[in-house]
Structure 1
Amino acid sequence: MTYAKSAWLFGRGLGLVFLVAFVSWHAQQAGLIGERGITPATELMGALEARGMGYLDVPTFAWLFGASDGALHAICVLGELTSVALLVGALPGPMALLATLLYLSLRVIGGPFMAFQWDILLVETGWVAALFLPWRAFDGPKALTEPPPLARWALYALAFRLMFLSGAVKLMSGDPAWSDLRALDYHYWTQPLPGPLSWFVHQLPSRVHEASVLTTFLVELVLPWLIVAAGLERVIDRLVKRRVSEMRRRVQTWLLRAPGLGFIGLMILIALTGHYGFFNLLTIVIALPLLDDALLERLPVSGDARRARLERWIPDALATIPLTLGALALLVGLGAPLPEWSHGALAKARRFHLTSTYGLFAVMTTTRREIELEGSLDGETWRAYRFAHKPGDPRALPGWSAPHMPRLDWQMWFAALGEHRDSPWLRRLMNRLLEAEPTVLALFAEDPFDGQAPRYVRARVSAYRFGDWDLLMETGQWWEVEPLGPYAPTLTRPR
Structure 2
Amino acid sequence: MVSIVYTRNLYLRGISVVYLFAFASLYVQIPGLYGNNGLLPARTQMESKSNGVLAKFLSKPTLLWFAPYLGLDTEYMMDVLGIVGVTLAFLGMVSQKCCNAMMFSLMWALYFSLYQVGQTFMWFQWDILLLEAGFITIFVAPLVYVKPGKNRSQLYQNPVTFQLVRWLLFRLMFSSGVVKFTSGCPVWWSMKALSVHFESQCIPTPVAWYAHHLPEWFLKISMIGSHVIEVAVPFLFFFPLSAVRVTAFYLQIFLQLCIIITGNYNFFNLLTMVLCISLLNDNFFFTKRKGKGRSSESSWFLTILAKLVHLGVYAVLLYFVKVLFALRVTDKYTIVSDTTFTKEEFERALGKAVPAAMLLGALPLALNSAEAVTAAIIDGPNRFFSRVTNFFSTLFYVAVAVFLFSVSLVPLASIHPPVLQSSANSTVSLLLRHWHSRVEPFQISNPYGLFRRMTGVGGRPEVIIEGSQSIDGPWKEYNFLYKPGDVNSSLPFVAPHQPRLDWQMWFAALQTYNQNPWILSLAYRLVNGQPEVLQLMDTSRNPFPKGPPKYIRASLYHYHYTPWSQKSSPSWWRRERIEEYFPIFSKDHPPLLDYLKKLKIIGQDAPSSAGLRGKGKDRKKDLWTNTWLISFLKFLRSLIAQVEASIFLWSLFSAGCVIAFTRRI
1:461 aligns with 2:556: yes
Aligned 1:479-490 pairs, distance under 5 A: 479-490=573-584
Provide Cα deviations, 1:290-316, integer angstroms capped at 9, x if missing partner: 112122228xxxxxx999556544323
User: What is the CA-CA distance between 1:22 and the residue it aligns to?
Assistant: 0.3
Could you tell me which of 65, 79, 82 is aligned with 2:85? 79
Could you tell me which of 189, 193, 202 is aligned with 1:179? 189
Could you tell me which of 449, 452, 471 is aligned with 2:566? 471
User: What is the CA-CA distance between 1:381 and the residue it aligns to?
Assistant: 2.2
Q: Distance between the aligned counterparts of 1:216 and 1:13, measured in 2?
A: 24
Give the % identical residues. 31
**1:139/1:442 CA distance change after superposition, 3 Å:** farther
- Answer yes or no: is the 8 Å Cα contact 1:374–1:458 preserved in 2: yes
TM-score of the pair, normalised by structure 2: 0.67
User: What is the CA-CA distance between 1:85 and the residue it aligns to?
Assistant: 2.5
Provide Cα deviations, 1:14-64, integer angstroms capped at 9, x if missing partner: 0000010000000001110111110111012226869x9843443211233
Equivalent in the alignment of 2:506: 413
User: The residue matched to 1:386 in structure 2 has which SS?
Assistant: coil
- Answer yes or no: is the 8 Å Cα contact 1:148–1:315 preserved in 2: no
**1:13/1:169 CA distance change after superposition, 3 Å:** same
Q: Aligned letter for 2:12?
A: G
Q: Distance between the aligned counterparts of 2:493 and 2:415, measured in 1?
A: 32
Q: Distance between the aligned counterparts of 1:451 and 1:79, measured in 2?
A: 37
Equivalent in the alignment of 2:176: 166
User: The residue matched to 1:433 in structure 2 has which SS?
Assistant: helix
- Answer yes or no: is the 8 Å Cα contact 1:325–1:354 preserved in 2: no
Q: Distance between the aligned counterparts of 1:19 and 1:132, measured in 2?
A: 19
User: What is the CA-CA distance between 1:110 and the residue it aligns to?
Assistant: 0.5
Could you tell me which of 386, 397, 411 is aligned with 1:329? 411
**1:492/1:49 CA distance change after superposition, 3 Å:** farther
User: 19-28 or 337-346, which moves further after superposition?
Assistant: 337-346
Equivalent in the alignment of 1:224: 234
Equivalent in the alignment of 2:440: 350
1:278 aligns with 2:267: yes
1:208 aligns with 2:218: yes
User: The residue matched to 2:129 in structure 1 has which SS?
Assistant: helix
Equivalent in the alignment of 1:435: 528
User: The residue matched to 1:277 in structure 2 has which SS?
Assistant: coil
User: 106-115 or 257-266, which moves further after superposition?
Assistant: 257-266
Equivalent in the alignment of 2:128: 120
- Answer yes or no: is the 8 Å Cα contact 1:466–1:480 preserved in 2: yes
Q: Distance between the aligned counterparts of 1:28 and 1:103, measured in 2?
A: 14
User: What is the CA-CA distance between 1:389 and the residue it aligns to?
Assistant: 0.5
Q: Distance between the aligned counterparts of 1:121 and 1:409, measured in 2?
A: 21
1:12 aligns with 2:13: yes
Q: Distance between the aligned counterparts of 2:580 and 2:164, measured in 1?
A: 50
**1:228/1:353 CA distance change after superposition, 3 Å:** same
Q: Distance between the aligned counterparts of 2:505 and 2:148, measured in 1?
A: 44
**1:47/1:219 CA distance change after superposition, 3 Å:** same
- Answer yes or no: is the 8 Å Cα contact 2:468–2:476 preserved in 1: yes
Q: Distance between the aligned counterparts of 2:571 and 2:123, measured in 1?
A: 33
User: The residue matched to 1:162 in structure 2 has which SS?
Assistant: helix
User: What is the CA-CA distance between 1:4 and the residue it aligns to?
Assistant: 1.7
Consecutive unaligned residues in structure 2, runs of 5 or more: 288-375, 381-389, 590-665
Q: Distance between the aligned counterparts of 1:485 and 1:465, measured in 2?
A: 16
- Answer yes or no: is the 8 Å Cα contact 1:165–1:334 preserved in 2: no
User: What is the CA-CA distance between 1:228 and the residue it aligns to?
Assistant: 3.5
**1:48/1:105 CA distance change after superposition, 3 Å:** farther
Q: Distance between the aligned counterparts of 1:139 and 1:481, measured in 2?
A: 59
User: What is the CA-CA distance between 1:286 and the residue it aligns to?
Assistant: 0.8
Provide Cα deviations, 1:311-342, integer angstroms capped at 9, x if missing partner: 54432321122111112221123322243333
Provide Cα deviations, 1:440-486, integer angstroms capped at 9, x if missing partner: 1100012322262221111112100112122344x532112111232
User: The residue matched to 2:495 in structure 1 has which SS?
Assistant: coil
Q: Aligned letter for 2:185?
A: D
- Answer yes or no: is the 8 Å Cα contact 2:266–2:498 preserved in 1: yes
User: The residue matched to 1:134 in structure 2 has which SS?
Assistant: coil
1:156 aligns with 2:169: no
Q: Distance between the aligned counterparts of 1:266 and 1:310, measured in 2?
A: 41
Q: Distance between the aligned counterparts of 1:297 and 1:78, measured in 2?
A: 36
TM-score of the pair, normalised by structure 1: 0.89
Q: Aligned letter for 2:436?
A: L
Provide Cα deviations, 1:185-208, integer angstroms capped at 9, x if missing partner: 100000111111000011100111
Equivalent in the alignment of 2:397: 315
- Answer yes or no: is the 8 Å Cα contact 1:148–1:316 preserved in 2: no
- Answer yes or no: is the 8 Å Cα contact 1:386–1:392 preserved in 2: yes
User: What is the CA-CA distance between 1:424 and the residue it aligns to?
Assistant: 0.6
State the superposition RMSD in angstroms: 2.3
1:62 aligns with 2:64: yes
**1:213/1:351 CA distance change after superposition, 3 Å:** same
Q: Distance between the aligned counterparts of 1:72 and 1:436, measured in 2?
A: 23
Equivalent in the alignment of 2:610: none
User: What is the CA-CA distance between 1:376 and the residue it aligns to?
Assistant: 1.5
User: What is the CA-CA distance between 1:141 and the residue it aligns to?
Assistant: 7.7
User: What is the CA-CA distance between 1:383 and the residue it aligns to?
Assistant: 1.8
Q: Distance between the aligned counterparts of 2:498 and 2:584, measured in 1?
A: 29
Q: Distance between the aligned counterparts of 1:144 and 1:266, measured in 2?
A: 38
Q: Distance between the aligned counterparts of 1:105 and 1:469, measured in 2?
A: 47
Could you tell me which of 104, 107, 115 is aligned with 1:99? 107
| Bigger CA radius of gyration | 2
User: The residue matched to 1:297 in structure 2 has which SS?
Assistant: coil
User: The residue matched to 2:57 in structure 1 has which SS?
Assistant: coil
Aligned 1:353-392 pairs, distance under 5 A: 353-365=443-455, 366=457, 367-379=459-471, 380-392=473-485
Q: Aligned letter for 1:115?
A: W
Q: Distance between the aligned counterparts of 1:228 and 1:445, measured in 2?
A: 47
Q: Aligned letter for 1:55?
A: F
Q: Aligned letter for 1:462?
A: Y
User: The residue matched to 2:47 in structure 1 has which SS?
Assistant: helix
**1:344/1:398 CA distance change after superposition, 3 Å:** same
**1:273/1:4 CA distance change after superposition, 3 Å:** same
User: The residue matched to 2:584 in structure 1 has which SS?
Assistant: strand
User: 28-37 or 407-416, which moves further after superposition?
Assistant: 28-37
User: What is the CA-CA distance between 1:65 and the residue it aligns to?
Assistant: 2.4
Q: Distance between the aligned counterparts of 1:141 and 1:408, measured in 2?
A: 44
**1:91/1:478 CA distance change after superposition, 3 Å:** closer
Q: Aligned letter for 1:105?
A: S
- Answer yes or no: is the 8 Å Cα contact 1:390–1:409 preserved in 2: yes
Q: Aligned letter for 2:17?
A: L
Provide Cα deviations, 1:262-295, integer angstroms capped at 9, x if missing partner: 2222111111110111000000011112112122
User: What is the CA-CA distance between 1:75 and the residue it aligns to?
Assistant: 0.9
Q: Distance between the aligned counterparts of 1:340 and 1:83, measured in 2?
A: 38
Q: Distance between the aligned counterparts of 2:552 and 2:285, measured in 1?
A: 56
Could you tell me which of 270, 282, 287 is aligned with 2:276? 287
Q: Distance between the aligned counterparts of 2:438 and 2:502, measured in 1?
A: 32
Q: Distance between the aligned counterparts of 1:458 and 1:142, measured in 2?
A: 65
Provide Cα deviations, 1:404-435, integer angstroms capped at 9, x if missing partner: 00000000000000111110100011101111
User: 449-458 or 197-206, which moves further after superposition?
Assistant: 449-458
User: The residue matched to 1:375 in structure 2 has which SS?
Assistant: strand
- Answer yes or no: is the 8 Å Cα contact 1:395–1:477 preserved in 2: yes
Could you tell me which of 192, 195, 199 is aligned with 2:205? 195
- Answer yes or no: is the 8 Å Cα contact 1:223–1:258 preserved in 2: no
Provide Cα deviations, 1:63-83, integer angstroms capped at 9, x if missing partner: 332662211111111111221
Q: Distance between the aligned counterparts of 1:139 and 1:480, measured in 2?
A: 59
- Answer yes or no: is the 8 Å Cα contact 2:43–2:75 preserved in 1: no
Consecutive unaligned residues in structure 1, runs of 5 or more: 231-251, 299-304
